[in-house]
């Protein structure tokens, strides 16, 4: 659960979750929401937390402690805002629709590559 990961990172830095909220710049009440609902923060806050603790958003969102590496990942592996938004929006899609979305992205990439080739 996100709340547990957040608390562990706070503990490693010698901070309380409320203290970290103050340093990072978000409402302390958010922490209670995460604890009580099990939800992760919205994208803007997630990215701030990721930057502050120098961990990837994947690290913050991993729910299985066995899959989460013992050492936080390199901040260079953070998801950018667009990628995170796509991740969030695609969570409710069927596997068939996820595949269609992937094919659409590949199509746009191919078109972009063709346009760049003709410009050179």
In the block, which residue shows the tokens 């990961």?
A: 5
Output the pTM of the full model: 0.56
- Predicted pLDDT at 84: 65
Q: What is the pLDDT along the chain (120 residues), one digit of tens a residue?
A: 899 999 989 998 899 999 999 999 999 999 999 999 989 999 999 999 998 888 888 889 887 666 665 444 444 445 566 776 677 677 778 889 888 998 998 999 899 888 888 877
What is the C-alpha separation between 57 and 77, in angstroms, rounded? Answer: 8
The pLDDT value given to residue 94: 87
- Cα–Cα distance measured from residue 83 to residue 88, given in angstroms and rounded to the nearest whole number: 9
Residues 22, 24, 29, 31, CA torsion sign = negative
């Amino acid at each position: 659960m996100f709340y547990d990961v957040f608390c562990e990172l706070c503990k490693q830095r010698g901070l309380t979750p409320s203290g970290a909220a103050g340093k990072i710049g978000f409402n302390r009440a958010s922490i209670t929401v995460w604890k009580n609902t099990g939800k992760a923060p919205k994208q803007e806050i997630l990215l701030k937390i990721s930057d502050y603790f120098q961990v990837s958003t994947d690290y913050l969102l991993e729910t299985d402690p066995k899959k989460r590496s013992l050492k936080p990942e390199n901040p260079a592996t953070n998801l950018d805002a667009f990628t995170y938004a796509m991740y969030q929006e695609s969570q409710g899609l069927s596997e068939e629709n996820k595949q269609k979305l992937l094919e659409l992205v590949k199509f746009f990439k191919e078109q972009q590559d063709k346009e760049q080739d003709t410009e050179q």
